[in-house]
Amino acid sequence: MKAILIDSYGEGDNLVYTDIPIPVPKKKEVLVKILYSTVNDYEWCIMRGKPRLYRLLFGIWKPKLKLGMELSGVVESTGPDASIFAVGDEVLGDISQYGSGSFAEYICIDERALRKKPREISAKDAACLPHAGLLAYQAIQLYGEIKEGMEVLVNGAGGGFGCFTVQLLKLNKAKVTGVDSGDKFELMRQLGCDAVLDYKQQDFTRQGKEYDLILDPKTNRFPWQYFRALKKGGQYITVGGSPSKLLLGGIMNFLLGPFAGKKYRILFLEANKGLEKILHHYRFDEIRPYIHGPLPLDKAAEAIQCFGQGKHKGKIVINVYNEQ
């Protein structure tokens, strides 16, 4: 089978597109033929080994984890103790709780990492939903305390997380300001943004505008800068970013949050929790992924670079299995 292997840190030249044996499922594992995967911040960090603090988890000198943690595909065989799926079942899932390696045509993974894909959802769209879709859902529904008319700012509104976030916010009748590069303005307006800002031209923390909620996929400012753009009682919710700034945010929230009347929250994704809600919204045509690609598996390095440089619109999708 074809797969992307990585045995060192680098800027893309460290990824190898090659042939490896098809694995055999053990115990509660299933063998999945992967049709589509996606690019997330996980791949950008793994490929480069940056921020360097992450190497304590990934491997000091070389990565010990595989690329790819989100997939849609078909069950090809099952392990002796697997009981949830049958051969031929179409599945999707964020597999990060049980492993990684979806940048390959086949994977053996614990069946608990997967969910059955509804027939009305295409395999391409299905691959986009588990990670970015659930980051958006969990941030908004579990922590955001959304009410009609709330003023919300979404940083990176033209990316994978941002596209889902804007759509879910508009379902809740929030007033949404989207922040991204100017070339994504049309997309952000199509998604429902009431206002758009170009981060290259305007710093939303210095506009004098205050929001009830700020949602951010990649924290790169100091916490007091975000607090400056929050109303009294407002929240800043981040799903990733600079480890040092996230640490500062957690400390500041603990020490000063109660006095400032503002909250700084870091969301740690619970894999696949709430996926049935996202699938429900999809069935009723209330959300849709905006897809960048799909790109072939042998272009994985280019896809990851595109993500890291913020040049993508929506979710970058990798077409993994090639029928030819």
Q: Which tens digits make up the pLDDT trace of 219-242?
A: 999 999 999 999 999 999 999 988
pLDDT at residue 323, as a whole number:
61
Indicate whether 324 pLDDT > 60: no
Run of H or E including 94: strand 90-94
pLDDT at residue 311, as a whole number:
94
Give the model's confidence band at 121: pLDDT under 50 very low, under 70 low, under 90 confident, else very high: very high
pLDDT at residue 229, as a whole number:
96
Whole-model pTM: value is 0.94
Give the model's confidence band at 66: pLDDT under 50 very low, under 70 low, under 90 confident, else very high: very high
Give one word for 266, left, alpha or beta, with left for phi > 0 and alpha for psi -120 to 50.
Answer: beta
Mean pLDDT of 131-149: 92
pLDDT at residue 258, as a whole number:
76
Which of 2-16, 49-63, 93-107, 111-125 bottoms out in mean pLDDT, i.e. has the lowest?
A: 49-63
Domains, in order of start, for the chain: 2-128+290-319 (3.90.180.10), 132-266 (3.40.50.720)
In the predicted model, what is the mean pLDDT of the chain? 94
pLDDT at residue 288, as a whole number:
96
Pairwise CA distance, residues 171 & 162, whole Å: 14
How many percent of the chain have pLDDT more than 90? 87
Pairwise CA distance, residues 111 & 185, whole Å: 40
pLDDT digits (tens, 9 = 90+) for 40-53: 999 999 999 998 88
Mean pLDDT of 306-313: 95
User: Which residues, at least 6 apart from 250, have a Cβ–Cβ distance to it below 8 Å?
Assistant: 264, 266
In the block, tokens 């400032």 appear at: 260
How many percent of the chain have pLDDT more than 70? 99
On the 0-12 / 13-18 / 19+ scale of CB atoms within 10 A, 54 is middle
pLDDT at residue 37, as a whole number:
98
Which of 181-195, 219-233, 254-268 bottoms out in mean pLDDT, i.e. has the lowest?
A: 254-268
Find, among 228, 174, 182, 229, the residue nearest to 201 by Cα: 182
